[in-house]
Structure 1
Amino acid sequence: MQDRAAQARREAASMERDLARERAAEVRRLFQRFCRIGPAPSAVVFPSQLLIGAREAFDLELTPQQAEHVVRHHDRRGGGALALQDFAAACASLEAHVESLRREDRERALCVERARRRVATKQDEATRRAQLLASMPQPNMDTSALSRAGAAAAYLLPLLDALRLLACHSPAGEGRELGPLCQLAEAMFFAQPLAWIAMMWYANRWSVPHLIRFNLNQAIILDMLASIALVVLCSPLAGGLPPTAASGAAPALLLGGAALSSAA
């Protein structure tokens, strides 16, 4: 086991040495290439040669000031030019800079692609929404006298619940005036759920005039509130049920009952 580990380390070290030799040979070739740039070959790389060589070898556009800064930063001899060893360090710096620029370009391209996809998705959603709205039937905007009468009739259902609630809390002496209306409300007691379902069905039909549908929805909400108030205020637990009418009293409406108590 130890022999295998030692052999693996030797192979890794050998590969690293091979890579280092290849890297050194590549840097030497680049150095010779940069030295041949210009009217006359030189033994060192000057800023003008680095400027042209960076464009040809690394596809990197440097300004003259940047080229001079790179040479000045890596020139350990102070001669204003790069020898072979200095050029190797400068190449490593330029390659790292090029890699960072490429990484930024990839990230920028990825952001642009994501933005393009978001825009395309929003446009697709807007197109589908427009197609859906175009395929839907147009609302009926009829406001004739018949539609207005139907819109007003939608409030009969909450009116009946309001009458039942009023009769539940009316004194015995005042109940005589509400007698016929209370009888109507009691007669419609079992028909109200069917009327409520019919109102909900018509309120969701596009063929029904918009004026009627709007008032049907409002009437449904009012009827629900009136029904809740009727259950809460007139339930036996709340003590809201009126006592049975005494002698000479007006008919009193009993919640949940089908008959009115008559005067004795």
Structure 2
Amino acid sequence: MKKILFLLLLSVVLIRPAKAQDTGIGVGLSFDVEYIMPQRYRDPGGRTRALFPVKYVCGETQPTDRLVPGTYRTVINVLNLSTFATEVGWRFSSGFGRPGIVGARARIERFGSFFMDCPFIIRNLQRAGVEVGSFIEGFVTIEDLNDARTERTPTRVAATYSVLHKQVHNLPDLLPIQRERTWCRLDNQGRLIVTIRNQGEASAPLSITRVAIDAGASFSRITPTLAPGSQADLAPIPLPSGEDTVVFTITADAPAAIREMNETNNSAIGVCVLVE
């Protein structure tokens, strides 16, 4: 219980919004610390390894990235809790589906520590031939190279994450609205009805919403001009006939033609179970 409370106390959020009417942009700083638990793995040779997989998030997001707009920083700290020197090694994963990149080894003196930050991670990725843009995320897997067969390992790993969020004001914000539990709202002819809402602070001009059915057709529907806080039902979408489970994706402002307060909430995935 003490450990859980300690972790909660270390999670801090500081918000200082700018005046929307002056600049249209506010900022907020979030900060979090995570303690990484060792994962035990027995390799084909029978050796048990203690591995610490650590997520890293570095750089400034772009409108096409999946995370909330902001500038992300990661610092990974590795600590030796023993009275003797230890060794650790690490590998990088760039998150692009390619094999892990061998990093290096480090000797940590008794009760010593070292850290990896975003510049360190990016330099290693670039040396390995990874093209790093303004934003990148992936994993660093840290391995305790000492005797990992014992129940406890002297190595401890903690990761610190900080984000400087961009809070954009005086813009529209289009998103699908969930009117039914699985987003499956049908009319009396069995057609899908999609609702789009503008939860932003400015009117949204005419836009295009796309509904793509998995392994099926894709439909575009016009979304009318929406004032802040208003919503509209779009023209019905025909669904496949017969008994089936239909999975579909709704994307408001599908061409990304409108600048919005939050570009990451435009899509939703729904399911309709069709029974004749």
* TM-score, reference length from structure 1: 0.21
Higher RCO (C-alpha under 8 Å, 6+ residues apart): 2
Q: Which has the higher helix share?
A: 1
Larger-Rg structure = 1
